[in-house]
Structure 1
Amino acid sequence: MKFNKELDDIVLYEPGKPVELLIREFDIKLEDIIKLGSNENPFGSSSKVSSIIEMGSKKASLYPDDSMFELKDSIACKYNIKPNNIIIGAGSDQIIEFCIRAKCNINTKVLMARITFAMYEVYTKQVGAKIIKTSSIHHDINEFKALYDEHKPGVVFLCVPNNPLGECLDKDAVFDFISHTSPETLVVIDGAYQEFARYKDKRKGIEPKELLERFENVIYLGTFSKAYGLAGMRVGYGLAHNNIINALCKLRPPFNVSILSLDCAKEALKDEEFVQSTIVSTFKEMSRYETFANENGIKFIPSWGNFITFVLEEKHSSSEICDWLLKKGIIIRGLKSYGMNAIRITIGTAHQNDRVLESLREFFSSK
């Protein structure tokens, strides 16, 4: 059977390994597994969400409110914008797909960093659009400008902070680049980790209200999967001017987010104390990884997200480290598929990090 030729060049997105794999292949008990490969929230989710989940079975037979009014209203209040400036997706990656499908075809170009969130490339290839990547692995804004001028892309992705590496553009650099673009270019600001960046360095923080007030060709993406600890619920959102939101809504399937997910996201927004506790603990624990790297001569990329990337020398293999840790019940992420000999580690709880750092010391001391 033949399929669309655009699929021939697509490499499947490789998610972090599930805990079930370790239970099945290595006979490791669930309670002995540490999963730090997918940038989930190791602290779980707000206690306010637990009661919503317990009541969820009472609504399981019903379709959700497809207007998603209550969650939109809560997000609008959080960012001081209007509900009609919001679209809700099954994760922010669904909204990325909407952006590509709304703007791109085989004659369109899409600009992104050389190493960034893999789904930008996957969705672009699905519609046959041409991908333009920077030569730098980081977001070099001057290179973005030069490539923009040369290629005039229809869509630009800026991941702020960048996943999987962790570096983060200053807000001023982001705004400067957007000012450089045509009103016909859709600039996607992926703020999946903005809660962390905004806390660590105010210069990195992007306020959606200011973004929308200054620019009409931008969409800001947020998610409940990281700081809010709702990765399994799959809820993301896009904030933009009405004309962009209206176009994307034409691509949104009905009832694309479950009734339980909507209720949990709405409740999670009420517990900023949990979010702030998560962020403070994350950066406190991240400093332990930075100290470990410095003491062991390992290069790392300063991170504004909830993870850290170790860039390895040739004598160490990222695949070898990942496999070695896997057999100990520790899941991290190797970046070999990105063309880098590097590992990305989600910052866990203090107890989890004790085990990970002890295991890493054992690995490096044996080499």
Structure 2
Amino acid sequence: MMFKENLAHLRAYDPGLSVEEIRKTYGLNRIVKLDSNENVYGASPNVSKAIVNAALLPALYPDCRDSDLRRDLSKRLGVAEEELLFGLGLDEIIVLISRAFLEAGDNIVMAWPTFYEYYCHAQIEGAETKKVPCDKDGKHDLKAMSQAVDPSTKIIWICNPNNPTGTYVNDSELAGFVEKIPDDVVIVLDEAYIDFVSATDFPRSLDLLKNHPNMLVLRTFSKSYGLASFRIGYAVGQRRLIDEIDKVRPPFNNPRLSQVAAYAALQDQEFVKACVQKNSEVLAMTTAFLDSKNISYFPTQANFIFVKTDNPKTVAEKCKQKGFLINAFQAGVRITIGKMDDMKELLKVLEEAISETSAEPSL
């Protein structure tokens, strides 16, 4: 069979063993899942109440415009309803942007490491990817990224805060960068973790959109709102840009229950604030512990932290054997900020794992 050549070097997403499979494989009674940046406190109680009645209409297609959610969200953000585009999580939004703007011969510019899906869908569309290494502090190297732009560049991806490092681009850095980019290049700001940000100089990205018609801001209900299983995210941009992407959006792409869940979650801002506050408290304890043990990490503005180690796969495996799931990357491990007691226990396991592997060769 003849497959697309563009797919030759791609790999399918591998979720690994399920929690139940890990439990059985390692003989564990308890698993603490800290590998996917989910909200460990769940979702607002409003959500479960709201979806009960919504589940009574299974035979009907969902509202193609996400009307109630669109209306409420536009008021909260101060943007026009037509400046919103909804998708099955930010993953589908990334697919739609890539499909709308990329073809063979084009290229994208992105940091590395950052969210893998930017690269994946450029590859599927036959476009080249220019990966610009993050600087020594784990931040986007915006100067190098601007220098990588050429006449074939169609999209620049900026994950802010960045996944997996948790670092961020501040307002002055972003404003200066945007001014250097040609108007025909789409600049995408992925702000999946914005609700966890405490930095006072974080960009006011929605204000930037007013003067930059080539910019998009992406946000999601999967993180601070705790709706990862409902898969609903959105893009904000000027109407001309949103309309172009909307041409490749499948009809009825957001299920009715997802729309209802997101609307209900949006009404309970106190729940979101409580989750963010707990995350901040546990993060402070985590960084204090890491500092006391001289364990290196990147300061984070998200609900996860990137801990540096020479043997990330081995460290992650040792943590898994003790019932803690974390994510291994080339230069370290990414750990979701869990509940206080879970994190205190994990940090002891992590310290032991790093100590044990410090003299071992990297996998």
TM-score (norm 1): 0.92
Residues 96 and 366 of structure 1, relative CA distance in 2, 3 Å threshold: closer
Are 1:105 and 2:85 counterparts?
no
8 Å Cα contact 2:112/2:133 also seen in 1:
yes
Aligned partners of 2:286 and 2:14: how far apart in 1? 25
Q: How does 1:158-169 map to 2 (within 5 A)?
A: 158-169=158-169
Are 1:147 and 2:148 counterparts?
yes
Which residue of 212, 215, 219 maps to 2:212? Answer: 215
Match of 2:148, as an amino acid?
L
Q: How does 1:1-367 map to 2 (within 5 A)?
A: 1-15=1-15, 18-29=18-29, 32-137=30-135, 138-148=139-149, 150=150, 153-197=153-197, 200-208=198-206, 210-312=207-309, 314=310, 317-335=311-329, 340-364=330-354, 366=356
TM-score (norm 2): 0.93
Match of 1:75, as an amino acid?
L
Aligned partners of 2:79 and 2:16: how far apart in 1? 35
Aligned partners of 1:266 and 1:113: how far apart in 2? 33
8 Å Cα contact 2:196/2:276 also seen in 1:
yes
Q: How many residues align?
A: 354
Match of 1:320, as an amino acid?
T
8 Å Cα contact 2:316/2:326 also seen in 1:
yes
- Residue 364 of structure 1 deviates from its aligned partner by 4.3
Aligned partners of 1:51 and 1:205: how far apart in 2? 35
RMSD: 1.6
Aligned partners of 1:326 and 1:267: how far apart in 2? 35
- Residue 25 of structure 1 deviates from its aligned partner by 2.1
8 Å Cα contact 1:233/1:261 also seen in 2:
yes
Aligned partners of 2:348 and 2:295: how far apart in 1? 15
8 Å Cα contact 1:347/1:353 also seen in 2:
yes
Residues 25 and 244 of structure 1, relative CA distance in 2, 3 Å threshold: same
- Residue 102 of structure 1 deviates from its aligned partner by 0.9
Aligned partners of 2:263 and 2:16: how far apart in 1? 27
Mean CA deviation greater in 171-180 or 271-280: 171-180
Match of 2:48, as an amino acid?
S
Can you list the C-alpha shifts for 1:260-307, whole angstroms capped at 9, x where unaligned? 010000111111111111111112111222122212221100001110
- Residue 212 of structure 1 deviates from its aligned partner by 1.9
- Residue 151 of structure 1 deviates from its aligned partner by 5.6
Which consecutive unaligned segments of at least 5 residues does structure 1 have? none
Aligned partners of 1:110 and 1:240: how far apart in 2? 19
Match of 1:296, as an amino acid?
K
Match of 1:215, as an amino acid?
H
Aligned partners of 1:18 and 1:83: how far apart in 2? 39
- Residue 187 of structure 1 deviates from its aligned partner by 0.6
8 Å Cα contact 1:48/1:268 also seen in 2:
yes
Structure 1 residue matching 2:72: 3-state secondary structure: helix
More helix by share: 1
Can you list the C-alpha shifts for 1:72-124, whole angstroms capped at 9, x where unaligned? 11110110111100000000121111111111111111000021000000000
8 Å Cα contact 2:38/2:226 also seen in 1:
yes
Match of 2:75, as an amino acid?
C
- Residue 56 of structure 1 deviates from its aligned partner by 3.8
Identity of matched residues, %: 29
Counterpart in the other structure of 2:360: none
Aligned partners of 2:318 and 2:105: how far apart in 1? 45
Match of 1:246, as an amino acid?
D
Structure 1 residue matching 2:133: 3-state secondary structure: coil
Aligned partners of 1:78 and 1:364: how far apart in 2? 44
Match of 1:260, as an amino acid?
L
Aligned partners of 1:105 and 1:333: how far apart in 2? 32
Aligned partners of 1:365 and 1:4: how far apart in 2? 45
Residues 100 and 189 of structure 1, relative CA distance in 2, 3 Å threshold: same
8 Å Cα contact 1:64/1:258 also seen in 2:
yes
Counterpart in the other structure of 2:361: none
Match of 1:324, as an amino acid?
K
